[in-house]
Structure formats: structure tokens, C-alpha cells
Amino acid sequence: MQYIENKENIIKLEFLARILIWLNLGKTFNGSAIPHIYFRNYKNFYIPLPPLDEQERIVKKIDELFEILEVIKNSL
């Protein structure tokens, strides 16, 4: 089993969450009874990690844009 350790605090959890949402892993679930994702499908996938302050700015900007999209959606 593979997992991510953040012992050195190199990634903000909010940033990682946005990356995982962007990857849309739900489309790659395998298995019929219990959906799962195989590591072998992603073992060569790299996520560039900007500095923590840049990760915070990215998350803030994504959240701002989604708020704007929600306002637009509600006005339709």
C-alpha cells in the first residue's frame, strides 16, 4: 500500500485536496463490490509542489473562482 506522509509539512492538505479533485480519480475506480484505485495507474504521476505560501494562494484563488461560479450558476 502506498500513502503520503507529510512529516515535514511540505504540502497543505487543502492544496492536496484540490489536486485530487482535479485528478477526478472517481473515473478510474476498479472493482465491482468495493471500488478501488490501483497505484500502478498513477505511479509515474508527479504533482509539482510549489512553496507553502504559493499553495495557499492557489487554494484561495480556486475557492474565489468557485464562489463566483456559484453566484453565476444561481443567477441562471
pLDDT in tens, 2-52: 566 777 788 898 998 888 888 776 666 565 666 666 666 666 777 788 999
* DSSP per-residue string spanning 2-65: -----TT--S-HHHHHHHHHHHTGGGG-B-SSS-B--GGGTTT-------HHHHHHHHHHHHHH
> Taking the model in full, what pTM does it have?
0.67
Compute the distance between CA of residue 21 and CA of residue 64 in angstroms, rounded to an integer.
Answer: 16
> Which of 21, 29, 17 lies closest to 6, judged by CA?
17
Q: Which three cell numbers stand for residue 11?
A: 504540502
